[in-house]
Amino acid sequence: MQQRLRFTLTFGALMAVGPFAINMYLPSLPTLQRTFNASPAQVQLTLAVYFIGLAIGQMPYGTLADRWGRRPPMLLGMIIFTVASIGCALADSILALAGWRFLQALGGCSVMVVVRAIVRDLFSPTEGAKVFSTLLLVTGIAPIAGPLVGGWVLVSLGWQAIFWSLTLYGVASVLTIWLAFPETRKSAPHTRKAHAPLLSQLIILMRDRVFVGNALAGGLSQTTMFAYIAGSPYVFIEYFGVAPESYGWLFGINAFGLIASTQINRALLSRLGLERVLMITSTVAAVAGMALLVVALFGIGGLTGVMLPLFVCVSTIGFVFPNTSAAALVNHPERAGLASGVLGTMQFALAAVASVLVGMMQAQSPVPLATIICAVTLSALLVRHLILPREPSLKKRRN
The model's pLDDT over 43-70, given as tens digits with 9 standing for 90+, comes to: 878 888 887 888 788 888 878 888 888 8
pLDDT at 396: 43
Give pairs for 120-124: CB < 8 Å, separation 24+. 120/329, 120/330, 120/332, 120/333, 120/336, 120/339, 120/340, 121/70, 121/184, 121/185, 121/186, 121/333, 121/336, 122/184, 122/398, 123/398, 124/396, 124/397, 124/398
Q: Higher pLDDT residue, 251 or 206? A: 206
pLDDT at 397: 42
* Residues across the chain: 399
Give me the percent of the chain exceeding a pLDDT of 90.
Answer: 23
Tell whether 56 is covered by a domain: yes
Higher pLDDT, 284 or 52: 284
Name the amino acid, one letter, at 380: A
* Lowest mean pLDDT, pick from 18-27, 285-294, 369-378: 18-27
Q: Is residue 95 part of a domain?
A: yes
In eight-state DSSP terms, residue 332 is -
Is residue 272 scored above 50 in pLDDT?
A: yes
Band (pLDDT 50/70/90 cuts) for residue 30 is confident
In a domain, 220, yes or no: yes
What's the CA dihedral at 354, 355, 358, 363 to 10 degrees? 150
**The dihedral of CA 210, 284, 254, 140: what is its sign?**
negative
Q: Is residue 395 part of a domain?
A: no
- Is 392 domain-assigned? no
- Give residue 295's pLDDT: 95
131, 135, 138, 140 alpha-carbon torsion, rounded to 10°: -120
Is pLDDT at 184 greater than 70 in this prediction? no
User: Residue 77: what pLDDT?
Assistant: 93
Instruction: Give pLDDT, residue 106.
Output: 92
Of 9-18, 82-91, 268-277, give the lowest mean pLDDT range: 9-18
Q: Which stretch of 38-42, 147-151, 356-360, 388-392 has the lowest confidence by average pLDDT? A: 388-392
- Write the Ramachandran bin of 124: left for phi over 0, alpha for psi from -120 to 50, otherwise beta: beta
pLDDT the model gives residue 293: 96
Instruction: Identify which of 60, 150, 49, 148 has the alpha carbon closest to the alpha carbon of residue 104.
Output: 49
The region of weakest confidence among 22-26, 100-104, 170-174, 357-361 is 357-361
Neighbour-count burial for 18-29, b at 16+ CB within 10 Å, e otherwise: bbbbbbbbbbbb
Domain interval for residue 297: 2-180+190-386
Residue 357 CB partners (closer than 8 Å, separation 6+)? 227, 368, 372
Q: Which of 212, 83, 237, 216 is nearest to 154 (CA)?
A: 237
- The domain spanning residue 155 has which CATH number? 1.20.1250.20
Q: Structural domain tally of the chain?
A: 1
Q: Would you state the pLDDT for residue 291?
A: 97
Gap between the Cα atoms of 191 and 199, Å rounded? 17
Determine the pLDDT at residue 224.
87
Residue range 83-142, pLDDT digits in tens: 999 999 999 999 999 999 999 999 988 888 888 777 777 777 667 777 777 776 666 666
Phi, then psi, of 397 in degrees rounded to 5: -140, 165
Residue 294 — very low, low, confident or very high, per pLDDT cuts 50/70/90?
A: very high
Q: Look at residue 3 in the predicted model and tell me its pLDDT.
A: 58
Question: pLDDT band at 188, cuts 50/70/90?
Answer: very low
Q: Is residue 185 situated within a structural domain? A: no
What is the average pLDDT score of the chain? Answer: 81
In a domain, 380, yes or no: yes
